[in-house]
Amino acid sequence: MSRKIRRLSLFLCLKWAIVGFPLASAQTPISTDSRGSLDQLVPRQPDELIRRLFDSSLMNGQSWSLLTSLCKDVGHRLTGSEGAANAVILTRNQMLRMGYDSVWLQPVQVPVWKRGAPEQARLLISAPAQGRIKKEYQIELAVLALGGSMATPEGGLRAEVVEVGSLDELKKMPGDWIKGKVVFINQKMDVRYINTFESYSHCASIRVQGAVEAAQKGALAVLVRSLTLSLDSFPHTGMMVYRDSIPRIPAAAVSTLHSELMHRELLAGKKLEVELVLNSSNHPDTLSHNVVGQITGTENPDRYITLGGHLDSWDVGEGAHDDGAGCVHSMEAVRLLLSCGYRPRNSIRTILYMNEENGMRGAREYARLAREKQEMHLVSIESDRGGFSPREFHVEADSQSIAELQPMVGALQDYGIHRIRKGGSGADIGQMRDQCELLIGFVPESQRYFDYHHARTDVLESVNRRELELGSAALAALLYLLDHK
Amino acid sequence: MSRKIRRLSLFLCLKWAIVGFPLASAQTPISTDSRGSLDQLVPRQPDELIRRLFDSSLMNGQSWSLLTSLCKDVGHRLTGSEGAANAVILTRNQMLRMGYDSVWLQPVQVPVWKRGAPEQARLLISAPAQGRIKKEYQIELAVLALGGSMATPEGGLRAEVVEVGSLDELKKMPGDWIKGKVVFINQKMDVRYINTFESYSHCASIRVQGAVEAAQKGALAVLVRSLTLSLDSFPHTGMMVYRDSIPRIPAAAVSTLHSELMHRELLAGKKLEVELVLNSSNHPDTLSHNVVGQITGTENPDRYITLGGHLDSWDVGEGAHDDGAGCVHSMEAVRLLLSCGYRPRNSIRTILYMNEENGMRGAREYARLAREKQEMHLVSIESDRGGFSPREFHVEADSQSIAELQPMVGALQDYGIHRIRKGGSGADIGQMRDQCELLIGFVPESQRYFDYHHARTDVLESVNRRELELGSAALAALLYLLDHK
C-alpha cells in the first residue's frame, strides 16, 4: 500500500507546483469565448483553478440549495424510512441535473428500526424523612430511545435508578446493586480534547455497549447521558447493540441537563425512580439504495477516486450536519470541478451511502461490489464531520506516505486547511480499507458538532452557509490535487 | 523596530524548545503539595504549561461566566451610556477578584451619541400604469440609524429612493439625479474573501463615508445596505462620519433582505419612496473610563505586554462577539496564567478600552498616557474579531521579524493555530503603533462574525462556549510564549 501511495504522491510532489494545468480534452464542450461564462474558462495553473473552485462555491455554488432541499423537502432520513427513500430519489435527480456522466442506485438490504410513539419518561424523586421515604416531586425526563433498542414491556417499567460514572464502574459493581434497577450511565465527554471527535470516541461505548453491560448484571433498562459537550435539554440518540447471549433491555439517552439533575439529587441522598415507556421496535430488513454518480476519467476510466457521505440520518432533526453536509459536499465538489471546466483524468465517483448510522450496510455493499468487479480504487474520501469550516484532512496511511502528501498543504493553506495528518478517515470508507490505496477524511472545525449530533437541533439553521460552501470547495480542491498528476 | 523584535524573538527561537519552564519566583505563593489543586502545580516544560492553560480553560475556566455577566447583567454598552458605566464597574471588580496586582480606571472624555426613540421607515412602492404612477404597496423597512447620524427633520422626511452600487458610482452620478432624493447604497460585501474581515474592509466605506458623498450631491438622506454576508432581516449599524464643509444628512442601515427587495423593485422599473424618521442625536462629551489590570513582572516590572479588547459596544444586542468576547479573552487569559502558577517576567496588562466603536478615545488616551510616562511597551495584543475558534495571529511588522516569530507556531498548532503572519492587528492597539515593538491581532475563524456584527443578533447565545474558551487559552499561551524568555 505504501508504495502505491508513494507513486500517487510522487507526482503531487514533483508536478503540481511546476506543471501547468491541463486543458480539458478535446471532447469537453468548453467555451473559449472570452465573453462566455466565467466558469467556462479553464485556468492554466493549479492555484488558479483552486482559487476558482472557491470563488465559484462562494459566489454561485449550490451547496446551500442542495442542503435546503435535503433538510426541508425531505427532512430526516432514518434507514428504511420514507424519508430515506425520498432522499435517494432527490439526490439521484440532483446528480443527474448536475451533469454527471452516469448516476445509478446500488440496491442494498438494510435493517429497519422504528421509534414508534414518542417515549415517555417520568422521574420520581423522594427523600428520607422522619425514618421513612417521602415523595418530593416528579418531572418529565427528556429521553430518546437509542437506535436499535427494544421497547419497554407492555405498560412500561418502573424501577429505582442507580448511577454509574463509566462502563468500568458498572462492571465492578456488585450484581445485587444493579439487579432489578435502571442503570444510569453518567459519563461526561472529556472537554480537554481540542478535536471533539476524540472526546466522542473515548465516551461512545457507554451508548453502544451500555445495555449489554447493564443487562449482564440484571438491570431492567439503561439510561445514558447524552454524548454532547454542551449542557442542554435535548437528548442525543445514536446506535446501541445487543449481544446474543445477553438479555435485551431497553436503552435511552437522557439530556445532559437532566443527567446533571439526577446526579445532584442522588448525591444529595435522594431516591430516584423512573417510569419509562419506549415504543421502539426492530423489523425485517428492507430494500434501500446507495446513490452513486460518476464522472468518467479521460485517461484512466477504470481507476476511481471516490468522495462520499451518508444519506441516512437519525429520525430527529433534519440530519443537517450528520450527514446532509457530507452528501452536499460530495455532490457539489464534483459539480464545482465540472463547472470550472475540469475533466478528471481518473474516474471520480460521488457515493451517498445508505445506513451508516445503524448498520453500515450501504458501505459494505459498495465495497463488496467493488471487490467483485475488481475495481481499482486510488483514493476514498469521506465527509462525515459536519458542515463547518475546513481545517484538516486525516489520512489512514503510514507516516512516510502522509509526509509525501504534505506539498498539498501549500495549495490549501490560504483556504484554511493547514494540516494533512495521520488519523481516522471515516466509517463508510473504512469498509474499503483493504481495497484502496488512500483513505482520507475531511476534518472541519469540530467545536459545535456535538451540540447538534443526533439531536433535534441538527437542522438546516444550525449550518452556516459559507462554512458549508468552503467545505465543498475544499473537497473539490482535494479531488483536483489527487487527480491531477 | 525590527531589531527589537529580533531581540524578542531570538530567545523564542533559541530557548522555548530547549529551556525548561522557570519555577515561579520565591515570593509567589505556590503550593508544591502534591495533593494541592492541580492548577497550583507549576509544570516545568513550555508544552506542559500550554497544555495546562487549555485544559484549565476548558475544564474550569471562567470565560463563559464572565461573558454571561457582561451580556446578561449589563447588556449593551454604548459609549457614554449607563450600560458602559456598569461594565466599567463590573469588569474592574472581576479583575480585582481574579488576583491582579493592581486594577485601575483611566478617565477619558468620550463622545455621546443617542439613538433616541426607535427609527421608523416605510417604503412606498408604486408602478407606472396606464400613463400614470399607481401606488402598489408599502412595507415597514428594517433600519437602524448609523452611529453618529443626526436625526431627520421634525416630522421625518419623505423622498424618492435612488440606488447606487458603490461610492464610485455615486461620485460619478449627475447631481440632478441625486438632489432631493434618498440615496440607497447597495454594495454587497464580496463573498470571495476567505477571511470575512477582508470583505468588510473593502466595503465599510459605504457606511462610513456614504453620508458625506451623498450630501455632496444634494441628497436628503442615505440608506446603506447592512455590512453582513448573510441574507437576513436585521439592520447592522456602525460608525459613520460627517465632514465639516459638507451638509449633514441622516444615515441608516437597511437589512440585506430589504436591500434585495428594493433592488428588485427598482430593477423592475418601480418607483420607490421612503418615509424616514430617525431620532438620534449627538451630545457633549462625558466622562468614561478604560479599565486596566496589571500583573507586575518579576524581572522587568517596567516593561509591558498588553492584551485588550473594547468594553463599549453598539446599542443593539449585547455586544457578545463585538467585543464582549475580546474583553473576556483579555481578562481570562491573564487569570489562566495565574491559576496555572505562572508569574510573568515582564508586566502584563489587561486593557479594556472604552469607545472603540465611535471615537477610539480610550485607546488614544491609553497611548497618550503611556507616552507621557515613557512606559516601555514590548507587545500590544488585541482581540476584537469575536469569540470563535482560534486560527491565526496577525502581526504588524516587517516580513523578517514575522519570520522570526514562526517557531511559536510549533507550540500552538495542536490547538488549532497554524499561522502567524503579516496583517492588521487591531484598531485600539493601532494607537500604540509608534510606541510598541510588536502589535499582534488575534484572528479566530471569521465566517460567522458578520452575521452578528453590530446587530441585535450579537448576543450570548451566538457564542459557542468552547470556542470562547479556546480563544482565552490561545491568548494565554501567546502571552506566555512572548513573556517567557
In chain A, where the domains are located:
2-112+284-483, 120-279
List phi, psi (to 5°) of A415.
-110, 15
The whole-number pLDDT of residue B485 equals 64
Which DSSP symbol is given to A198? H
Which one, of B330, B426, B399, B393, lies nearest residue B5 by Cα? B399
Residue B23 has pLDDT above 90, yes or no: no
Residue A85 has pLDDT above 90, yes or no: yes
The lowest-confidence range among A246-255, A299-308, B44-53, B351-360 is B44-53
Residue A20 has pLDDT above 50, yes or no: no
Q: Do A192 and B230 touch (CB under 8 A)?
A: no
Chain B partners of A464 at a C-beta cutoff of 8 Å? 447-448, 451
Are residues B354 and B84 in contact, defined by beta-carbon separation less than 8 angstroms?
A: yes
Query: In B, residues 189-228, which contact A (CB 8 Å cutoff)?
Result: 191-192, 194, 196
Residue B170 has pLDDT above 90, yes or no: yes
The mean pLDDT of A58-67, rounded to a whole number, is: 98
The whole-number pLDDT of residue A40 equals 47
In whole angstroms, give the CA distance from residue A119 to residue A116: 8
A178 burial via Cβ count (<10 Å: 0-12, 13-18, 19+):
buried
The whole-number pLDDT of residue A273 equals 98
Query: In A, residues 447-476, which contact B (CB 8 Å cutoff)?
Result: 447-448, 451, 464-467, 470
pLDDT tens digits for range A339-348: 999 999 999 9
* Interface with chain A: mutation pick from B38, B65, B68, B194, highest number of A CBs within 10 Å: B194
Work out the angle at residue B193's Cα, subtended by the Cα atoms of residues B187 and B199, and round it to the nearest 5 degrees: 40
Sign of CA dihedral A368, A373, A379, A382: negative
Are residues A457 and A255 in contact, defined by beta-carbon separation less than 8 angstroms?
A: no
The whole-number pLDDT of residue B191 equals 98
Q: Scanning every residue of chain A, which has its alpha carbon at the shortest distance from the alpha carbon of B419? A: A418
More confident residue, A149 or B397: A149
The mean pLDDT of B44-69, rounded to a whole number, is: 95
Residue B95 has pLDDT above 60, yes or no: yes
The whole-number pLDDT of residue B232 equals 95
Tell me the CATH architecture of domain A2-112+284-483.
3-Layer(aba) Sandwich (3.40)
The whole-number pLDDT of residue B374 equals 97
B471 burial via Cβ count (<10 Å: 0-12, 13-18, 19+):
buried
Residue B362 has pLDDT above 90, yes or no: yes
Strands of the sheet containing A102-114, edge to edge, are A102-114, A281-295, A346-353, A300-310, A376-382, A436-444, A390-396, A419-422
The mean pLDDT of B80-89, rounded to a whole number, is: 98
pTM score, whole prediction: 0.91
Nearest chain A Cα distance for residue B467, angstroms: 7
The whole-number pLDDT of residue B137 equals 96
Residue A133 has pLDDT above 90, yes or no: no
Sequence-distant (6+) residues with CB within 8 A of A156 are A120, A275, A276, A277
Strand partners, A392: A419, A443
The whole-number pLDDT of residue B43 equals 57
B416/A contact by beta carbon, under 8 A? yes
What does the block give as the cell for B189? Answer: 460585501
Q: Which fold has domain B2-113+284-483?
A: Aminopeptidase (3.40.630)
Chain A partners of B416 at a C-beta cutoff of 8 Å? 194, 391, 445
3-class SS of residue A419:
strand
Are residues B328 and B66 in contact, defined by beta-carbon separation less than 8 angstroms?
A: yes
Chain B partners of A391 at a C-beta cutoff of 8 Å? 416
A55/B contact by beta carbon, under 8 A? yes
List phi, psi (to 5°) of A140.
-75, 125
Asked if residue B101 has a cis previous peptide bond (ω within 30° of 0), the answer is no
Q: What is the residue-averaged pLDDT of chain A? A: 92
Residue A13 has pLDDT above 90, yes or no: no
Chain B partners of A191 at a C-beta cutoff of 8 Å? 58-59, 466
Q: Do A445 and B448 touch (CB under 8 A)?
A: no
Residue A24 has pLDDT above 80, yes or no: no
The whole-number pLDDT of residue A151 equals 98
Residue A31 has pLDDT above 90, yes or no: no
Q: What is the residue-averaged pLDDT of chain B? A: 92
The complex scores an ipTM of 0.91
Q: Does domain A120-279 match CATH 3.50.30.30?
A: yes
Residue A199 has pLDDT above 60, yes or no: yes
pLDDT tens digits for range B283-312: 999 999 999 999 999 999 999 999 999 999
Query: Residue B405 — pLDDT band, cuts 50, 70, 90?
Result: very high
Which one, of A347, A144, A173, A385, lies nearest residue A256 by Cα? A144
Query: Residue B97 — pLDDT band, cuts 50, 70, 90?
Result: very high
Residue A17 has pLDDT above 70, yes or no: no
pLDDT tens digits for range B214-268: 999 999 999 999 999 999 999 999 999 999 999 999 999 999 999 999 999 999 9
Provide, rounded to the nearest whole percent, the portion of chain B with pLDDT above 70. Answer: 91
Residue A43 has pLDDT above 90, yes or no: no
The whole-number pLDDT of residue A101 equals 98
